Amino acid sequence: MIRTIHSFLALLWHQRRLIFSMASREVKTQYVGSSLGFLWTIIQPVVMITVFWFVFSIGFKARPMNDVPFVVWLTAGLAPWYFFADIISGSTGLVVGHAHLVKKTIFHPHILPIVKVLSALVSHLVFLGVLFVLIISQQQPFLFSFLQVMYYGICLVVLALGTAWVTSALNVFVRDISHLVGVVLQVGFWVTPIFWDISMMPAKVQGYLKLNPVFYIIQGYRDSFITGAAFWNYPQYTLYFWGVALANLLLGAMVFKRLKPQFSDVL
């Protein structure tokens, strides 16, 4: 396994120019023909957060969560979820969408989800920028734990990459996978404690909800930006998450490698 990881990292290094070029092209094509161009990357999260804030804070009178303004608490949970969902949904159709490249023997299709990670990272950084503005405007303290978000970002990418390899490979053979992924992400959005606090649930239900590895990341972002709690405060849950994430990554790599030789016959 160590040799496989080393080979993959070496491949990423050798293909780095191609990966960054494809990611840059994907970001640019999102705004081709648009007058505002890249500004839409800023406008979209701002409008979305404003709508959510109005509906829940003004309409439903949502109270501050643990003395933290609801809009800050909500945005800290939305940021990692939309990054994760963007990677999964965007990667699922990448192999099919790049069929002309996949059929070339010199192209390595398993770098495609990496391309999506980089392009989705742009929007994620903008989302985090909006979160910082909210923290300042709501007069929340700056914490050293802000830097911890880099750790949880790595957790997110590892978990998403394994899933993206599975969905992108299976979608070549069963095109319904892309629709299924959309449904699962919708369900996951509401099952994961993003709009609601997990403490609302009975202790037994909380235990089941925490089996969702995405919860570890959502809570980690909130710990980084709000509570200041360090990830090593939860050693058992951290070990559980990495066990699931690495197993998922290995499964994704195996599925993609096993199906890759048949891509050209189906595409």
Q: Measuring CA to CA, how many Å separate 149 from each of 49, 154, 155, 156, 224?
A: 20, 9, 10, 10, 6
Residue 196 lies in a domain: yes
Residue 1 lies in a domain: no
Do the Cβ atoms of 223 and 148 come closer than 8 Å? Answer: yes
Residue 226 lies in a domain: yes
Residue 5 lies in a domain: no
Residue 2 lies in a domain: no
Residue 64 lies in a domain: yes
Do the Cβ atoms of 112 and 95 come closer than 8 Å? Answer: yes
The tens-digit pLDDT sequence of the chain (267 residues) is 556 666 766 777 787 888 888 888 877 777 666 666 667 777 777 787 778 777 766 666 666 566 778 888 888 999 999 999 999 999 998 888 888 887 776 778 888 889 999 988 988 998 898 888 888 887 777 777 888 999 999 999 999 999 999 999 999 998 889 899 999 999 999 999 888 888 888 888 888 888 999 999 999 999 999 888 888 888 999 999 999 999 999 999 889 888 888 887 777
Q: List 65's β-bridge partners, or say none.
A: 68
Residue 36 lies in a domain: yes
Residue 149 lies in a domain: yes
Residue 46 is which amino acid? V
Do the Cβ atoms of 178 and 171 come closer than 8 Å? Answer: yes
- Please count the structural domains in the chain: 1
For residue 232, what are the domain limits?
10-266
